[in-house]
Every structure is written in structure tokens, then in C-alpha cells.
Structure 1
């Protein structure tokens, strides 16, 4: 269990009696994010709680609620869903989807600088999320790597829509907090005017793209104010100037059109930027298509990247036009785009087809493009004579009729006939060769056009949007797009069972025909039943939890008078309850019988010692003995006298009854010697004394002290009085 999180006073507290705070997940300049359990729906959520002081202003609270409701209306696979909002202890909070994974900031730390294609693939879903927000008239205002989450399945999600706007409207202090927290991505107009629209998100996105491509931010300084000053007064440099690798020698370098895309998105003048994320996404996808086609330099595309209005109506990725190389010495045909990986030897073997001034293939022909074929000399039949009649086409009432031309008769004698036949054969051969050349040119032109189309577009297709579809719909969509679809399954907390969680490659990715697309279908929420571990040995209980894909939580050991040590007495989650993978289950384990310290009561009053032992939980047994040294009623001995024992064990007390009493024998009138022997045999000590009266000196016993027939302790002294 995570014990350090207990330092936060909110941990363990339930907001509005519903959201139980489990642990603190992250802390920022304006709010703290907690992992919490929605006890009503039994799902893990993320709760963002504003810091103290932000919710004291009623106007801010109303704006916060309004922005949270606006963000909750966004429904897109790349947007972190907002489930709920409220106030707890005067502090506003919002409840969001909990995304297990990492942030784009961590990815930048591991991978940056990235290849252009990797960077564009990562950020295209971000633009999809921003475009959806912009179409809903919602501006993010805080686009930065920390707000881009990447799940364990690789799904990209953008968080905190509308929250930055709510905070920035609170007070000047709060606005300063927003600026200070994100100075590396703040657009100039937000600094100068305090106002921002969709183009502010475009600027921040451009800074993020710059950071992915270069591994660092475009503006740095010794203080935050220097960075803000740079945003307002300095242009963002081309990313390639930071990377230093030329596109002429490396395909992983940054091409010129991508440099221009970043600078256009990061233009200090908002009017020069794309108007929203949808336009910027069209530009980014056209750049990505050019990278996939191997185009590293396209002057026309570079120029287009400076004119975002040309992309305003873009709805699909642009396929760059591959041009056929033309003579570099021709002033009407500029150099063709530089490409890597294209079949240049095949192009070199083909004749040059007609091209336009821009170097693109022309698919229509004019008379000047056709080969010049020899034509036979025009002759006039010898028997044809001039006529004074007007041609038929000049007569208004005449019909134009086409008749076969009259045969050409040889001129002169019969010797000229072979020459005329030879001329006719030459004419027919020349016409046949011309038609053959024309046909070859047309076929080659068509082949080049078809090959170019195939290389640039024909063999490519786009992965259709599959998220949220069911298996049958995915198969149909994959067949329509000429893709091979394979399926995998995974659990999901948000996607219903049987629907698509994600696809690889992602939607709108340009791939070759018959490419493999892996689709992950949801198996619904991942839940496992808690096994019954009560009564088992603790080791067996832990094995059972691990086999059930659960984890052992805090183990508490308690004394138990009946269960053996190591036996599980209780679990904090009831057996059979359906919980998520790796849920921690706390156990209560027996330590066995509790040992009790035994105090030695020897020499003390037996009644007091017995009462103390009984109160401690022991059974007390007593035996009685005579003692010459211990007073009656006191403890002579105790067993056991010290150490520990368990509740219900027996402690034996030996209690003194005092010394043993013996009857003093009657030795009256006996001689002193005989009397002494008798008393000593009875266990007494003997002393003699003369009687004070009647002392006759005879040596006989007259009396004794103690007196004859009385009881005295064994070993005590008997005094005999003699007469």
C-alpha cells in the first residue's frame, strides 16, 4: 500500500460522499490530481481539485462550472472525458476519465528529438481532439505536453479542456499563474491582450511540434519573463536549424515544407496562422503524406504551407503529385521534387512524355506533340480541268457530298507506273510507322501516368475510423478499404464489450493496399473475483490472491485465543466481490494466543495474589502447608513463579497455615531427666527453672510453661519448673 499519500488530508476522504480519494497522483500550480474511486459506479477516476483560495470567488465558481460543463459535452476518442464537477470544502473539483499510462512530456524526455514521421504520427490525434473542441467553440488555452496523455495501449488523449479559461478568468493572480506555469507555450496575444481564440491553440501546438522535432523549446531564458518577452518579440526559428541535419543526406531530417509548417503555426501574428486545428490538421496530414511518399523537397508544397487559407476546406490527406524529371537545362521545366526510395532507373528507361511548365505530366496532346510523318506530294489528275462552276460548299442550295477521290493515273508512258507504285508503298509505310510511333507514345505516356498514379495514390489507401465499431462493422470497413484486419482483445474501463478500443495503424493513416491492421476489441471492464481466504494459512492466502491477479494489501496481525498463528481471520474485501486487476486486498492474520506476564506473589497475602491472577485471565489453584517462617494466609510458594503463560492457564499457590502445633505432654512429678526426654521426643526444646515456691531441691517437675495439655508449635521451648 502507498503509505506516503496519507500525508495529504484529502486521502481517505470522500468528496460529496461519492468519490473516495485513494492517493495523490500529481500536483500542479493550480490544482492537485488524485486517483479516486467512484463508489456509486465502482470505477477508478481522476479527480482534479483546485488549490485553496481559487473557489472563494463566486464568479469564478460559476465560470468554473460553466467551463466544466462545456468540456463534458466533448465526446471524442482523443479527449479525456469529463464525468462530473462539484465543490468540496469550498474547493471546486472535476471528475475525469483516469488514463493509465504516461504523458507526452515523458515521451519527449525519452525519444526527442524525433523523426518527422514519428512526431506527426504522435500529434495527429492531438489535432483531432483540438479540432473537435474548436468546432464546439471551446478553446483549450493550455496545450502542452503535460496535458497530452498516452495510455498503455498507445491511445493519445488531451486533458483539461476549458479549465485554463476558467482559471484565467478568476483574478490577475490566477492569470499570472497560468502564464507562469506554461510560459514555454503561451501565444503572444494572450500575453499582450489577455485574449485568445482557436489560433492560440494552434500556436501552442506548433511549439509542441517544434519540441518533438528538436528536443528543446524554441525560446529559453534565465527567467520566465525573458521567455514571455521572446514569444512576443522573436519569431520561432526553423526546426532544421536546430537539428543541423540536412534533408539532402538523411531521410530522417526535417524537410523544408515541415519547417515552414511549424513557422506558420507559430507566427506571432494570429492572422498568419491556420484559423483552427482542423485547418492545421489538413496541413500536417499533407506533410505526412509527402514524407510517406519519400518527397523530401517540394517547392509548391512549401509555398502552400505559408498559405493556410488554401487548406481551409481540406477534408482528407493530400497526396503529393510525383512529377517526371525533365531536362534541367530547360527554363520552362524547374527541377523535380527530390525523392528517396523511388524507382528512378525505371523512369530513366522511359521516353520523356509531354510536361507542363511546372514539370507535371500532361495527359492531353496537341498536333505539335505528334511525330512529324512524311506526306506524299499533292498531285492533280491530268484529266482534271478547271471549271467555272462555284464549289458546292459556296452554293447556298447545294448539298455537300463526299465522294471517293478518282484514281490517280500515271502521267506519261508505261515506264512511270513502277515509280508511282513505289511512291505509294513508301507513303503507306511512312503512315504506318507514324501511327505506330503515335501508338507507342500514347501507350508509354499512359504507362508512365498509370505508374505515377499507382506509386503516388493507386497502391495506397487510408485506414478507416474503426473506434467504437463492432466486429462485423470492422470486417466490412476493412474489406471496403482493401485491408487485412486482425483482431486482438483487451479489457477497457470505458469502451463497451465487443467494440473497438483502438487500431494500429490509427485512423486516417495512409498505408499500402492489403496492409495488416490490428484492431483491439474491448472485453469490457477487467474484473476478477476475490477468492475466499478466511481460515487459510497466510502464505496460502497470498498465493490465492496472486493467482487471481490481485495483490496483497496491508497485513494486520492480532492475538487470537482460538486460531493458530498465521491463520487468516478476515479480509477487507468480501469474497466473491468483482474488482480490477492488481486490487490490493488487506488481510487480518492471527498471531496465536496472547502471552501474559506472571508476577511472583510469594510472601504476599494469598487472597490478593489470587485476585490479581484471576483478573489477568489465569485459573488459580491453592494448597496449604504449615510453615514456621511464613505467616498464616501468606503465599509460601507459587508455580509457575515467573515468565509468561496464556489466558486460562493454571497457576498454583502454596498458602501457609502457620507452624504445626503439638500437645505438650504431662510430665508432672517426673524426674527432670525423664521429663526432658519426653518433651524432646514430642519435638520441643526444654529448659528448667526452680519453682519460686516449694523449692525442696528434689529435682521433680512441678509445672511447665506452656502448661501440660496445651498446644504449642513444634520446636518451641518448654520451661519446666522443678521442686
Structure 2
């Protein structure tokens, strides 16, 4: 995939991340000359209509959102079956990275971050979209401290007829679920407010309010347990900030902030040192604790959530009161039945009893209601993604069916969502590991890291660990080796030896040194490396640096006895300079005239190229003039 060109425009360069649905690459937009991020749908999902639809949904949802705190979508398309989204490249860290490193965030900074996230969510909500997966991993912090919310892959329109949360398919991350998400109920904008409350709680306290051995237990706590204020874990958290968090974490959507903008405004009031609305609402709720409950109004749409959710009893109202009301209704109904029976003709149908609707009752409540209806109960248990553990899923016969008195009604109690044990995939290649986890109805998120000991493509670790129970479609994070870190070897020609050695050592590679004569490269300067420049290496490799020893010395030849021209040729052919010094006189007629009688340096001495060799050429002196014969002595 590296260096692939998408749409003739986006050249992929570096792999940034891998998630359960797609890979994210850094790319160069060759048309607009800018760096972008490209999200590419996994090939395994390219033929799955639900994944394709979800992928398109992210593009369409986020492309229509324009806000400084939302990652911008630039383009989307398909090429040879490869579906992709082009988006803004955000340079920085996720809030998850910061929490892992620092544990918590200063309360004021946490409020600032939450304020920007709330601003992003408000824009999405006004556009009719619910994010549904607000968590630290989807919140980016840039180098300048500004916040970007990303990953609208499971966002949906409020009026979308296609329900993303279906039976057996809980979308989102259990740690940050709203109570309605935990039960598979429809989630509106107030669900995002709850999730943001969890994120703010974690920033302040260094941990989330609910934790457990499995996502199942965490999801159940979202529904049935109340969080302790973050100040109990961090005394630096003020009562005002406590109040903001606790209002966002109300179990009932109607009790939370009505909009993300309302939460943002309260956070701004806190940052400005002003009283916050959440504290006022909390005080009012305290004053109303002992007030008598008002008559129940006609149920608004949100009551569907309240009726399906096993909420703790409202303040001032006990389950005893509720069961008393049920008992009164049953007695009234039975009394009316006998009066009607006495006044009218006997009717066999009138002798039958309707099975009461006890859906979402506890087992104890169900037993009481069935017995009050003059029926017998038999219980069994089964997993349910819709009904919380310990509550009634359904009855057999169903509610409203007519049965004889004393008949047995089978009551099915929820064991909670079906769970799957995560298999141990450490040491497996990523494709095999993904297949094994998918077979257990688990999603896979992948984080790639460099590792010098584990081969590329092999799973180093998994989170949660093997053997922990997981909800259907929840994610397991696999840390996968990218092998040793790879770099392209640059050109080190002309570097000083020490500079090149330091640079290579900083890359983590082992450095060897070789010396080599070179006619033009000065001594101590790098001639080349092995491997050569441009080759991709990793941190386990060895790089040899070839360093110049300067020009190779030349051995002075032996030219003694050579004719002068022959001596010159022999010396200059070796790159040395030829010079004639004072001639040397040789005997007349010795045949040594014109030949080298001495040389300096002598033969065998090593000289730098261009060094001077001086020779002395022999010459025969002019013969003395012949003496005339002696003149006669006069005789004769």
C-alpha cells in the first residue's frame, strides 16, 4: 500500500494507525500540495454492505460538519474496490495518550478540554448527528493545545430509519457507554453528554467511575450504580466542577444537561469563577428529596428509556409502594371479574386469567406478581443484549395470554448480554489473530509499534488480556509489531567521519569503519557507506562507513642507468614529478653519458602523488685536444 496513488491525487506515505474498520495513512495531496490523512476500509469489509454503509455514513456525517474542534473531511471515493476518506491530518496526541502518560489532567485544563469537546458535539447535534463513541481515543490535542474530535464512524442521524444499535450489536466502548447505550436503547444527544461526563471524570480522577473484570460488569454499573464525585479521588476538584460532572452522569437523559451547549456554558462559568447551573440544580434536587412524588404524567418518548431501564427507585418512592400499587390493581381487577361474573351469564372465557406483563421486573417482583395472579412460576435464564442481568426478558406464555388458574408460567430471567472469552492471540500473525477474535464476535483494533525482537506482523500483546469476557462486538486492542524501525539511508559522502558515525548511531544501527585511499577525497572524509545511500535499513542492521586515507602513496621507481627520456616517462607515469639536478661526470667513452647516475629519493621510497623525483644525468667531458707532434731537432 505504501506509495500507492489514490484517485491520481493522494500518494500514501506513512501508516499511522489501524482500527477495527479501517487503516489510516498519511498522504500527500498532489493537487493542493498539502499533507492529509486517508482512512481506507479494510479489504475484509469491502464486500460487507453494513461496513460499507457505516464507512459512507462517517464520510457523509462528518463532511457536513464545519467547526475548529471537528476533524475536517475533504474527500471520499473508491478505487478498484478500495474505499477511502480523505481528512485533515491532525498532528498531536490523543487524550488517551496523555492520560496513559500523566494519569490525570489539572482540573482547569480538564474543563478547558471538555469545553472544546462540548462545542464540537453541539455542532454535530445541531446537524442532527449523535457521535455515540465519545472517548479519549477519539479526542485529539494538537501541539497548540486545541482540541479536535474525530471518528464519526458510528454517528447516526436522530431520524435515521436504520437503527445502528440492534439486538446483539451494541455500538461503542463499554467504559464510556451511556445507560441507554448499555441496554441497546436509542441514544440521542444526551447520550454523548453522559460519555463526555465520563471522559471529564477520568481526566480529573485519573480513572473512570466504573470498572470491572469485563465490559459486561462495567455496562451494568452504568445502568444500576451511581458514581462517587471525582473530588473523592482528587481533592483539587472543586464543588462546582463536581456538580458539572455529576449532572452529566445522571442516569436519566432528562436529568442531564439538555444540550452540549448548556454543558459548555456551565464549564465556561466554572472557568470564569462564576456560579454554575449544575450546582443550583443539585441544591434544588436536595430540597425535593422529601417532597411527595407528583402524579405520573403522560409518558414522553424518553419514558421508553425509563421503563426499560432498571433504575434505582426514585427518592421518596420505594419498591414496596410500587408493588403495593400493582397488588391493588390486581385485587381490583379480580374483584371486578367476580362482580361481573355474578351479574352476567357464566362465560368459560371469564374463568381464564391473563398472564401479567412483568418484563424488566426483578425475579422477586416477578414471583410476587405471578403468585398474586393465582398462577405458578417456573424460572429459567438466558443471555440478553437488551435486558439487564437479573431482570425478566419475557414469559411463556407471553404477557396477555389467557391461561387457567394455577397454570405454570415460565419466566425467563436475563443473564445479561452474551459474552465471549477473548482467545489468546499473542504470537500469532495479525490476520490469524483477527480471524480468531472475529470468530468470537469481537471487533479488532490494531496499534502498530516498532519492535526489534518481534517479527513484523506478529501480535505482541492484547488488551483486554486473553480469557477476559467481552460483550458482542466490543473491541480488543492488538499491539502488532512493525519490526525494527526502518529508515532510508541518506548520503553521507563528504561528511567528517565523526559526524557520520554519530548520525548513524542515533538511528540505532551498528557502525563499522573501513579506510580506503582516494585520489581526491581528503583524509578523514567519508567516501561512501555500505549499504549505499537510498537503501532502506532498520535499527538491527550494520552500516559500514568507508573513510578516505587520502591519496595512495606512490613508490619511487628505480631509474638508475635509464636514459633520461625513459626515466622521465617512468616517473611521470606514476604521477610523480621529474626533475634533473646537477649532472654527473662519467669517464670518456664509458657509455654512461645521458643515463641516470643518481636519483633522490631513492628507489622504493613512498611519495604522495605529485611528489618530486630528482635525477642526475651522466655526461662525458670533452676529450683534451691532441698535442701536435714535437718539432724536429734540426737534424737531417
Shorter-chain TM range is 0.3 to 0.5
Structure with greater Cα Rg: 1
Q: What is the TM-score of this pair, normalised by structure 2?
A: 0.45
Quick one: higher RCO (CA 8 Å, sep 6+), 1 or 2?
A: 2
